[in-house]
Structure 1
Amino acid sequence: MIAQSFVNQPNVYRQKYSISYDKLMAKRRSSSSRKPTLVDVAKAANVSAITVSRTIRSPELVSPQMRIRVEAAVEKLGYSPDPAASALASRVTHNIGLLLPSLTNTVFEDVLDGIYEVSEETRFFIQIGDTRYSALKEEALIGTFLRQKPAGLILTGFEQTEKARKMLSSAHCPIVQIMDYGGTPIDMAVGFDHEAAGYAAAAHLIECGYRNPGCVGARLDARSRRRLDGFRKACQEANLWDERRMVTTPQSSSVGLGRHMLEEMLSKDETVDAIFCNNDDIGIGVLVEAQRRLISVPDQLGICSFHDMEMTKHMHPALTAIATPRYEIGKMAFEMLLAEIDQPQSVKKRIVNSGFELKKRSSTKNLAGKF
């Protein structure tokens, strides 16, 4: 039936895809029994499956250079779009799928606030999935979301399973991966460099004069591990690293856990004089425990936390922190999706480094006496 429909309307087919019908049929007759897929075409053209799908469905929305590459791959492989599949794929909803590692972590509440800031004035609804820091749960949720034909997807990080990445590469909707930078996105991405953030924290503590720096981290996903890797790297470059001064746990972060982690750190090396905490809950806990032990902050112990939640600036002393633009990342991610939904391939800068900022406060030494 597919071949017959092309016979009846060969001119329309030639005009839309700029491919010779005779050459296409010859290639199909000479090919193996396995029909080439959209993913095969994407690999041959060195583009995403999303781009191939857009070129086939709406060639006028794709740049001439991109169209030529895709059309050449279609002709070479003898790929034939399935009208039934195309019709099914076109029935998208007004849902935007959002997958977050946690719905209780206030870090992601800020991301969600940024998304809602933009989405409230649109026709789209946000459908949220909680992956609970599990790649397999994320994979299952991706499959569920894609079967519902979302208008777009927002994911956290780049560490999807191979199966999940294959599903996403074949998706007929724009995708934005958030809260990370430096990996290989499926479509678009906005986030910051976690290793650079950890490095910046160590560099600040060393600049303040601390000579026995350590770090603590809870629930170490890939992004958290890279922060600690960056911290270690800076300390090693300054010949100040001691592996005893890294304390980690798979437990969820909390203030109470931060108190316990300082206790464990001191039991391993009581000379530690500065600590980078992988998030603010841990940082507050370390400060509380230090004060309970009558350890002077910042004179005897410097503390730098990560994310810079509202509470950090109200502690006494206020916590130095690496501030991350969570709200802005959520807002930008949704704006990128909207632009792509409205006009495919309209987002020129598809990988955005949101950056981070070191907020110097009174939990670390000020050698110049200015903060």
Structure 2
Amino acid sequence: MPRKQRRPRSKLSDVALRAGVSAVTVSRALRRPEMVSPQLRERIDSAIKDLAYIPNRAASILASSRSSVIGVVVSSLTNGVFADYLRALHDMFQPAGFQVMVLNSRYSPLEEEKAIVTLLGQRPEALILTDVDQTPYARELLEHAGIPIIQTMGLTDAPIDINIGISQYDAGSLATHHLIELGHRRIGILAARLDSRTRNRVAGYTDAMKQKGLHDEALLEWSAVPSTVKLGGELFSALLSRCPDLEAVFCGNDDLALGVLFECARRGIKVPEQMSVVGFNDLEFAASSCPALTSIAVPRHEMGRLSAEIVLEIIRGSGARPKTSRIDLGFKLALRDSTRMSAQRGLKV
């Protein structure tokens, strides 16, 4: 079968001819649609669709000094933690006429650096990041980008521009103190990836345990591989074989915690009667698991919404920045059925 001959790529002049207007009018309709009548815009849009015309963004950016693009770098495209966050960004930016361009750093500072270079090459009007620990080169680029830079999820004492997040350290400490206050003493922790947020949660756990004289390195079980429900069960099994007197476990995220609940069910370990379990992030399934999972609730949607709100105010509103460059949104303990006051310490396995 002979190959179908490709049609040449349509040009701006082709659109102008099809719509019966000048090339200048088409260009104006693409860059500043509010300056063209609705009827004329409809004719031009119809011509664009008929010809499958793709506007030259580079030329448009040079002409208007505006890209209408917001760059976003997230740590993962598969982790449910970022779903609410990205939804909030899209819900805020798209009605305002912006396109959200999302790249994935895969929890790697070097991959994040590459993503930042790529996005800055697109001349975005703002850049939003889901981390606060950039490489020195990435930080240098961001400090001289000349656009709003929003670092989110965690908190830093040295924001590049604006920082919106929570103290991961304090959250880890709160989860641990909750288990201590329930009377547990042999409290383990499961961690995966060991990105900066996880490391801060582990530090909060470690210091809380040290304050009460309960710290034991044997109670820490971690892996550098990506976090999964399956991994949660595997890490819990390894920890339990080493520490059979384990009474409670704090998991660095809800995926790991769900794996612990499944593994407890397989082993006949009653939760919370014999094992208290705390997760982190309070994903949607946490309230529906069996038993319902106690977890640290992080305001991810609010983080995304506020980031977009501030960016829009800077680039399309009054231009005013928030009074403080570091905004702590706080967190809370979503208390459910997977934790309970210790009746007797120690688990026979």
Range of TM-score over shorter length: 0.7 to 0.9
1:263-283 per-position Cα deviation (integer Å, ceiling 9, x unaligned): 100111111100000000100
**1:90 positional shift:** 7.5
**1:367 positional shift:** 7.3
Alignment pair present for 1:128 and 2:107: no
Q: Give the match's secondary structure for 1:99.
A: strand
Alignment pair present for 1:349 and 2:328: no
Structure 2: gaps of 5 or more residues = 1-60, 344-349
**1:183 positional shift:** 3.4
Q: 1:267 to 1:367 in 2, by over 3 A?
A: closer
Alignment pair present for 1:211 and 2:188: no
* Cα contact 1:277–1:304 (8 A) shared by 2: yes
**1:144 positional shift:** 1.6
Supply the distance in 1 between the matched residues of 2:330 and 2:137 (Cα, whole angstroms): 30
1:157 corresponds to which residue?
131
**1:179 positional shift:** 0.4
Q: 1:177 to 1:105 in 2, by over 3 A?
A: same
Q: Read off the aligned partner of 1:294 and give its amino acid letter.
A: G
**Of residues 66, 77, 81 in structure 2, which corresponds to 1:92?**
66
* Cα contact 1:180–1:190 (8 A) shared by 2: yes
**1:248 positional shift:** 0.3
Supply the distance in 2 between the matched residues of 1:217 and 1:280 (Cα, whole angstroms): 11
Alignment pair present for 1:293 and 2:267: yes
Q: Read off the aligned partner of 2:298 and give its amino acid letter.
A: T
* Cα contact 1:194–1:227 (8 A) shared by 2: yes
Give the alignment's TM-score, normalised by structure 2.
Answer: 0.78
**Matched residue count:** 282
Alignment pair present for 1:282 and 2:256: yes
2:306 corresponds to which residue?
332
Q: Read off the aligned partner of 2:249 and give its amino acid letter.
A: I
1:244-291 per-position Cα deviation (integer Å, ceiling 9, x unaligned): 010000111111111111110011111110000000010000011011
Supply the distance in 2 between the matched residues of 1:346 and 1:252 (Cα, whole angstroms): 37
Give the alignment's TM-score, normalised by structure 1.
Answer: 0.73
1:48-104 per-position Cα deviation (integer Å, ceiling 9, x unaligned): xxxxxxxxxxxxxxxxxxxxxxxxxxxxxxxxxxxxxxx979823100000001111
* Cα contact 2:130–2:151 (8 A) shared by 1: yes
**Of residues 320, 330, 335 in structure 2, which corresponds to 1:360?**
335
Supply the distance in 1 between the matched residues of 2:112 and 2:279 (Cα, whole angstroms): 28
**Of residues 261, 282, 285 in structure 2, which corresponds to 1:311?**
285
**1:137 positional shift:** 1.5
Write the mapping of 1:192-231 to structure 2, written as runs, cut at 5 A: 192-231=166-205
1:232 corresponds to which residue?
206
**1:119 positional shift:** 1.4
**How large is the Cα RMSD of the aligned pairs?**
1.7
Supply the distance in 1 between the matched residues of 2:171 and 2:221 (Cα, whole angstroms): 18
Q: Read off the aligned partner of 1:350 and give its amino acid letter.
A: S
Q: Give the match's secondary structure for 2:96.
A: coil
Alignment pair present for 1:264 and 2:238: yes
Q: 1:89 to 1:183 in 2, by over 3 A?
A: farther
